[in-house]
Amino acid sequence: MPANSLEQVRNLCMRRGFVFPGSAVYGGVASFWDYGPLGVELLNNIKKAWWQDTIYTRNDMEGLDAAVLMSRKVWQHSGHEATFSDPLVDCKACRSRFRADDLVGAWIGKVRQEDVRRADTWLRHFQAHERVCAAMPEPLRTAGVQIMQEIQAAHEIWWPLGRLFLKFKDAGDEAAARKMVDDEDARRANQRMKSAQEAHKQFIEQNATAFEFACFKAKEIECPKCGSKEFTEPRNFNLMFQSHVGPVAADKGTDEEKAARVYLRPETAQGIFMNFAHVQRAMARKIPFGVAQIGKAFRNEITPGNFIFRTREFEQMEIEFFIKPPQFVKEGEKNDQQWHEEWVEQRFNWWLRYATSPSATLEDRDATAARFRARAQTPDELAHYAKATTDIEYLFPGSLGWGEIEGVANRTDFDLTAHSNDIPEEDLKRLKLEPNKDSTVKLDYFDPDAKARYIPWVIEPSAGATRAMLTFLCEAYHDEVVTEPTKQQIDQIKSDAAMIRKNAEKKIKEAQKEIAAGREAKHDPAKVEAFLNVLDETVARLPASLTELLTALDHEGAQNLEPVKKFRPPTEKLVEDCTRTVLRLHPALAPVKLAVFPLKKNKPELVELAQAIKERFQRHFRVVYDDSAGIGRLYRRQDEIGTPFCITVDFESLEDGTVTVRERDSMEQERVKIDDLPSYLLPRLQGE
RNA sequence: GCGGGUGUAGCUCAGUGGUAGAGCAUCACGUUGCCAACGUGAUGGUCGUGGGUUCGAGUCCCAUCACCCGCUCCA
C-alpha cells in the first residue's frame, strides 16, 4: 500500500534530505521549498527520464531552454497580463463577474445619489461603513471602527444644526443662516464633522484593498444584476511576479516603469512560441515536430499549500507539438484531435511506467494504474487559449485527493497567431484577439507538402516536475511488516486497547454530564467513541494492521486521553521494530543507485575493498559507502530512500571475488562476482 | 480569507506556575559473520518570535509568524 498520508511523505522528505522548508533560518516563507541532496537527485532523474523519453527516443522532437524573464509584451499578447491583473469577484447567485473596485466605488458613492438631506440616510451610511471596518483585520479594524464611531458622534451633534442651517437657507433667511455660521458652537460642531469626514476619507484611500475586501466580507455590496450579496472573495489575479530590467526610479504605472517591466514566466510555453521559427529553421524541421523544455515557472498563487503540490515557484516539463491546421490535413493524416489523443496516451503511459517498480506484481500494477486517470476538462474549466484539455490526475493520499499532474491542451493556433503581426480580420475574430502592433514577424510556416503557408496548431503536454516528484514519492512509499510481532506482544496490545476503552468510556460519561449541565466538556463524546471504534477495528485485524495502529492513535478523539499517551511509546517501538519503510521507486528515478557496505567496519581489508567498489561505480551514477551501523540497519536506511541495490563485502569476497547483492523490494540476496557487477546491475538499473 | 489544531534537542514526543527531560539519531572507544544488535561515554535546547501577568512562565493572557486539518479558492 502506498503512502496513506502526505504527512508521512513530508516527514521522510525532511528527515532524509529530499526537501527542506525554504528560508527556514528566518522562520520560513510559505510555499517555497529547497531540494536537498536526495531531492535534487530524484528531481534530476525525473527530468532526465522525461527528456530522454520525449526527445531522444522520438524522431520529431527538439529541446530548448528559454529565459525565465521575458518582455512584458510577450505576456500582453499571450493574454496573461490583461486576464489576470484586476481584483475580481463572482456573484455566487448569477455567476456574473465584476471588478471588485468598481462595485465598491459605486457603493461608496451611492449615498450621494440618495437624499443627502435626510439624517437616517447618513446614519445608515456610517453604520454600514462601521460594519465594514469591523470586518477588517487588526489593527485596521480598531482604527476603522474608531473613526466611524467618531463620525457618528460628530454627526449627532452637527446634524440638528446643519438641518436648521439648511432650513434657513431654503427659506431665504440669509441673516439667520449667517448668524449660525458665526456661532461658536455650530462652527466647532461643523469643524469636528469635517475633520471626521476627512479622517474617514483618508482611511479608505490608504487602506483601499483591505476596505474593498471587507466590503464583501461584511456583505454590504449588492450584485448589480441580481441583487444577491453572496460573492466570492475578491481575487487579485495578478498572478505574475514582476521585476525590472535595469535601474528604474519611476513610480509604478508610469510609462517609464512599464517600459522596463518584465515578468517571471508563469509557464514555460511562451518561451517555446518565441522560438518556434528559430528552432524550425535552425534544425530544418518539417511539421509535425515538437519542442520540449524543462524549467522553472512562477505563479503568485492565491492559496499555495499541500507541501510541494502547489507552490509559487515550481518546475515544468512542457512540450509544444506543432501540427497542421485542420483545413490542411489530408486523408490518412492525423488531425488535431487525433494528435491530442495520441499525446494523452503517450504521456499517461509515461506516468505509469515510472510510477511502478519493475518488481511490481500484476496486482500492484493494477492498483497503481487505478490511482491515475485522464479527465477531459469541462468547457468552463478551459483556459482562454485552449480548445480542449485533458488533465492527467493522480490520487494523492489524504485530503489532497485527485490532483492534476499534467495537462494536455489543444491550444490551436492561438499563441503563434497572437504573437504575429498582420493578423487577418477573421483570425482576430475567431481567436478573440487584438491586432498586434508590437510583433516584428509572422510566425507562420511554408508547408512544402501542402504547398501552403499557414500558422501551425499546437498540442501542449505540460507536466509538473515538482508534482511528479511528489507523485512518485507517494506511490513508492510503503510501510511493510517484515517481522511478525509475537503472540505475547499482540496480547499486550489487546489488553492495552481494552484499558484505553475502559478509561475512555469513563471520560465519555463525564463529558456527557458536563454537556448536560451546559458546561464545556474536555472531550467530545462522539469523537472519542469514533476513535475507540477505529482502535478496536485495527486491533482486531492484528498483526496485518500493525502499521495502521499509529494512524489510529493520531485520531482526533484520541487527544488528551492519558492511557493513549502511555500506550504510544511502546507501540511506536514495536511498530518500528517490526516494519521497514521502503521507497519502491523505479530504479531510473532512485536518487542513490547503489550502496556498498563492509560486513565489519573494523577490518581494513573489507573496508578497502568496499570503498574500491564504490569508486569503481561513482563515475556512472550516485553510489554511497556506509559503515556507520550494523548491516541490518544499513539496509533499512537505504530502503527508506529507495536505493535499488546494496552490496556487502565479506571475507569470502577477499578469497573468491564475489559479493552479496541485495535487492530492495524482495530483500533477496545473490552472490555476484565483482567483475560481473556492471553487466548484472546495468540492465536492472534501467528497469529491465 | 474563515474555523480548528500544532510549534520544546537533528527526528518523534513527554513535561498541568517552582533547577528543561526521554527514546531515536549523531560522534568516540570497544564488541558484532547479512536484515532497524549491544556496552560505556560525549555532543546537542535563550521551549517558533515579540509583548504582558507573576517573586518566578515551556506552562497563564495578548499579538505575530510558520506548518497541519477542514471549508473557500485555484491558468
Secondary structure (3-state) at A614? helix
**pLDDT (mean) for A71-97:** 74
Secondary structure (3-state) at A449? coil
Which amino acid would we find at residue A226? C
Residue at shortest CA–C1' distance from B22: A569
DSSP A310: B
- As a whole number of angstroms, the distance between CA A243 and CA A266 comes to 13
The closest nt to A650, taking CA to C1', is B33
Distance A215 CA to B51 C1' (A): 32
Distance A569 CA to B58 C1' (A): 22
Give the pLDDT confidence of A416-426 residue by residue, as tens digits: 999 999 899 99
A243 alpha-carbon distance from chain centroid: 23
- As a whole number of angstroms, the distance between CA A499 and CA A509 comes to 16
**Ranges A127-131, A220-224, A259-263, A344-348, most confident:** A344-348
Distance A70 CA to B54 C1' (A): 60
Give the pLDDT confidence of A1-14 residue by residue, as tens digits: 688 888 888 888 88
Distance A415 CA to B11 C1' (A): 49
Specify the CATH number for A594-685; select among 2.60.40.10, 3.40.50.800, 3.20.20.10, 3.20.20.70.
Answer: 3.40.50.800
Distance A612 CA to B12 C1' (A): 37
- State the cell numbers at A335: 488531425
pLDDT of A568:
74
Task: Give which of A149, A160, A148, A145 is closest to A190, Cα–Cα.
Answer: A160
On chain B, which bases lie within 7 A of the protein's CB atoms?
A: 1-2, 10-16, 23, 25-28, 30-37, 48-49, 63-75
Distance A191 CA to B5 C1' (A): 50
A483 pLDDT more than 90: no
Give the pLDDT confidence of A122-136 residue by residue, as tens digits: 777 788 888 888 888
Task: Give which of A414, A409, A506 is closest to A459, Cα–Cα.
Answer: A409
| Lowest-confidence segment of A114-123, A297-306, A340-349 by average pLDDT | A114-123
- Percentage of chain A surpassing pLDDT 70? 92
Asked if the bond preceding A570 is cis, omega within 30° of 0, the reply is: no
Mean pLDDT for chain A? 85
Residue at shortest CA–C1' distance from B23: A569
- As a whole number of angstroms, the distance between CA A504 and CA A14 comes to 35
Q: What are the domain boundaries of chain A?
A: 6-10+60-68+265-478, 85-238, 482-581, 594-685
> In which band, very low, low, confident or very high, does the pLDDT at A226 lie, cut at 50, 70 and 90?
low
Give the E-state strand segments of A272-420 in sequence order. 289-298, 313-323, 372-376, 388-396, 401-412
Task: Give which of A91, A478, A440 is closest to A277, Cα–Cα.
Answer: A440
**What number of H helices and E strands is found in chain A?**
26, 24
The closest nt to A266, taking CA to C1', is B75
Which amino acid would we find at residue A446? F
Distance A583 CA to B22 C1' (A): 30
**pLDDT (mean) for A476-495:** 84
Distance A549 CA to B64 C1' (A): 37
Residue reference for cell 441580481: A226
β A669-673/A594-598 pair status:
unpaired
The closest nt to A560, taking CA to C1', is B16
Bridge-partner residues for A410, per DSSP?
A: A388, A459
Distance A444 CA to B23 C1' (A): 68
The closest nt to A577, taking CA to C1', is B36
Residue at shortest CA–C1' distance from B64: A138
pLDDT of A470:
93
A27 pLDDT more than 70: no
- C-alpha to C-alpha distances, A212 to A71, A102, A141, nearest whole angstrom: 31, 10, 13
Q: Tell me, which fold does domain A6-10+60-68+265-478 have in CATH?
A: BirA Bifunctional Protein; domain 2 (3.30.930)
Give yes or no on whether A6-10+60-68+265-478 and A594-685 have one common fold.
no
Task: Give which of A476, A669, A498 is closest to A590, Cα–Cα.
Answer: A476
The closest nt to A662, taking CA to C1', is B34
